[in-house]
Structure 1
Amino acid sequence: MRIANANPLPVFRRVLLAALLLPGVAAASEPEQNTAERITEAADRFLKSFSQKQAQKGREVEYEIGSVDNRLSLNRCPQPLEVEFAGDPKRSTRSTLLVSCEGDRPWRIFLSATVRIQVDGWVAERPISRGERLSSNMLRSSQVVLNEQRRSGFRDAEHMIGMQARRTIRAGTAITPRMLEKPLAVERGDRVVISAGNDVFSITTRGKAERSGRVGEQIPVVNENSGRRIRGRITEPGRVAIN
C-alpha cells in the first residue's frame, strides 16, 4: 500500500530541515562585526592596556573613544588591528589614535579619543596673590589631571615651600613650576656682603646692589670702599660672590 502525502517535500528539503533542527547546528550564522565595530573594539582594548600600565605608575586613566561611522567601508583585515597613539597622550587630554591593518591590502585610519591621566598632586587651598611666598597651609593634596597642564605639577610639597607666586593662583588650581619662582634674595639698593677668592683664601667687603636678583643670578654691585662697579653672583640672601 502506498500512503499518499498531502504536502510532499523533496528528499533534499527533508534532509535540510532535519539538519537545521539538530542540536549544535545554527539556523543562521552569527552576524559578522563591521569595520566600525572592529576599530572601536581594537581602540578600547589598546586604551585598557594603556590604563593598566599607567596604574603601575600610580596614575588613574579615564578615556572615551570617538564614534566611528558605521557606513565606513574598508577591506577586511585578516589579523588583529594595530593601534597606537599618533601623539604624546601626556601633553593633552585630546588624543588621536592611529588604527591600521597590515594585511595584503593595508589601510590606516585616525580615531579621536579623550584620555585623562590623573596623578597625585597639589592645588591651592586658597587664592594666592602674586608675589606671595608659599607656606604649607596654602596647599592641599589632590588628584590632578596630568595632561591638562603644559607642564606636570609638583609631587612633593617641600619643593614649593618658600617659592614666590609669579601670578595670582585661584583656589583649587593645580600648581605647576611655571606658576612659581624663587623669591628675591637681594633687592636694588640693599647693602650686601661681597666675597672673592678660592678654596685657599677669600676676602670680604661691603657693597651696594644696583639690581634686584635671586639666588644664582648675576647682578651689578658697587664696592663701598673703592667705588668700583663689579658683577657678582648671588649665593644666598644678602651675599654676592666674585669669581
Structure 2
Amino acid sequence: MFRFTLMILSLVCSYSLADNNYSKEIEKFAESLVFDKYQETFEITGEQKLYIKAIPITDRVTFSKCLVPLQGHIVGDKIKSKTAVKVSCLDATPWDLYIRVKAQILIPLIISSRPISKGEILSNKNIELIYKDKSRVRGSTFTNAQALRGVRLKRNISSKKSIRHKDICYVCEGDKVTITANKSGLIIKASGIALSDGNIGSTVRVENSRTQRIVVGTVYALKEVQVTF
C-alpha cells in the first residue's frame, strides 16, 4: 500500500511538472510574437536592451496540450507596455488563451552603489551601471561610468539612486584647475582656483593663481577650463 501511494504521488508530481513546463512553452510562444512585432515596429539603438516577459499563466487555468502547432496574434496589432496576446489551439479539442506580455526598452543608467556623501569623489567603489525601463528614467542622467570617475558629488545621495547632472561638478568651487587659453593659434596654460561650480559646457569664474586675475571660462573636462580671448 505504501509503495502504491508513492507511485501515485510520483505520477501526480510528474503530471504537474509537465503542465508547468507546457505553460512556460506557451508563455515563450507569446513572448516571441511580441518580440518579432516590436522588432518590426520600433528601432532599438546599440546601448538599449529589449525586455520581453509574459505574465505567468495562473494555475487556475486548465487546458490540454495542443497536438498541432500553436497559433497566435497580438490583440489590436499594437505593442503596449503590457500587450495582450491571443494563443489558440486548433486541434480536436480547441482552446483559446489570452496572455499579457510586458515589453520594455531598458537603457543604461549610472546609480550609486551605496550611500554617498557630499564632497565624495565618484569611482567604481561607489557607482555602478544598471539597466532600467526607459519610461521610468527622468531628468538628465548618465549612461557611462567612465564619464563620472573623479567627479565630485555636490549633495548627499542614498543607495541605488541615479546620478544626475545637478548632483555633481566637474569643476567645483575651490578646486585647483588648469586654465587653457587659445590666442592667435597659440595655446597657453596656467593654474587657477575655481570660484564657482560647473559641468561640461557651462561657464565658471576662475582666478589665475599667478596674476590673481579673474576670468570666465568654459568647462571642457574634469578640472579644466578653456578661456577664449
Pair in the same fold by TM > 0.5? no
Larger helix proportion, structure 1 or 2?
2
Larger Rg over CA atoms: 1
Question: How high is the TM-score relative to the length of structure 2?
Answer: 0.45
